[in-house]
Chain A
Amino acid sequence: MIIATAVALLVVMVMALVRALLGPTIHDRILAVNVFGTKTVLLISVICFISGRPEFIDIALVYALINFVSIIGVLKYFEYQGASAGEGASD
């Protein structure tokens, strides 16, 4: 069942990558990358239990920290960008 979970995680990551590649706006891409990072944390945890080395969960923990900080940083960078351009270009 753990291996089936790993396969399902890989499928979900591929679907998130597809959304990140063809997302129409920058926020769709950020959302897809956020989902991808969360699923990477889960995949690392699952792979730890498949390979029988549970001490590698530290990597998943650090990846969760880095993922959150990077998402918040990218969002602060894009927060006010495009507001004036969107109002000027809309209709």
Chain B
Amino acid sequence: MIESAVSVLAAMMLGLGSFFMISGALGILRFPDFYSRMHAASMTDTLGTYLIIGGLMFTAGWGLPLFKLTLILVFIFFTSPTAGHALAKSAQLSELRLGGEQSGSAKPGAGGVHSDQHPDSRDLARADRV
């Protein structure tokens, strides 16, 4: 009884994690610019990873593999947002500016870090043309 319930729960978590991962991959493949692609990758990547590792933890039972899967889960819990933040910061510092870069000639000496433009002046489609 308990074993079948645990296996059903594990199968549900694995299936749901696969669904979230495939939706995230569709977002990576189909979204129009870099930041929305990064949003799709980070969000669904995190949830799909947790669900799949959780399903494997239910499959594993008590023992050393459960501990190792917990280590992987904790490590991905810390590193996935860190990698996403580093990627966004790197893209913001490079040519893929999020704030309105179409007025780049208006402020030539801005130093490249400050992007305090009005949010209405965002030119998100520009990220696709660079």
Q: Determine the chain B residues whose CB is within 8 A of the CB of A83 once the complex forms.
A: 93-95, 112
Q: Determine the chain B residues whose CB is within 8 A of the CB of A30 once the complex forms.
A: 87, 90
Contact of B94 among A15, A42, A79, A89 (CB under 8 A): A79
Asked if A86 and B38 make an inter-chain contact with CB atoms under 8 angstroms apart, the answer reads: no
Asked if B87 and A75 make an inter-chain contact with CB atoms under 8 angstroms apart, the answer reads: yes
A-B contacts at CB below 8 angstroms, number: 160
A62 to B18, CA, bound (A): 23
Encode B1-39 as 1/0 by CB contact (under 8 A) with A. Answer: 000000000110011011001101110110000100110
Q: Determine the chain A residues whose CB is within 8 A of the CB of B63 once the complex forms.
A: 54
Interface of B: prevailing SS: helix
Encode B24-65 as 1/0 by CB contact (under 8 A) with A. Answer: 111011000010011001000100010011011001100111
Q: Determine the chain B residues whose CB is within 8 A of the CB of A84 once the complex forms.
A: 112
Q: Determine the chain B residues whose CB is within 8 A of the CB of A85 once the complex forms.
A: 95
Asked if B72 and A38 make an inter-chain contact with CB atoms under 8 angstroms apart, the answer reads: no
Q: Determine the chain A residues whose CB is within 8 A of the CB of B38 once the complex forms.
A: 31
Asked if B68 and A58 make an inter-chain contact with CB atoms under 8 angstroms apart, the answer reads: yes
Chain B contact residue count (CB 8 A cutoff): 58
Asked if A11 and B104 make an inter-chain contact with CB atoms under 8 angstroms apart, the answer reads: no
Given the interface pairs A15-B28, A45-B56, A49-B56, the reply to whether A61 lies near B72 with Cβ below 8 Å is yes
**A-B residue pairs in contact (CB < 8 Å), sample of 16:** A8-B18, A25-B34, A25-B95, A27-B90, A30-B87, A30-B90, A31-B38, A38-B49, A45-B53, A45-B56, A46-B56, A57-B65, A68-B82, A82-B95, A83-B94, A90-B104
Q: Measuring CB to CB, which residues of chain B are less than 8 angstroms from any residue of chain A?
A: 10-11, 14-15, 17-18, 21-22, 24-26, 28-29, 34, 37-38, 41, 45, 49, 52-53, 55-56, 59-60, 63-65, 68-69, 71-72, 75-76, 79-80, 82-83, 86-87, 89-91, 93-97, 101-102, 104-105, 108, 112, 127-130
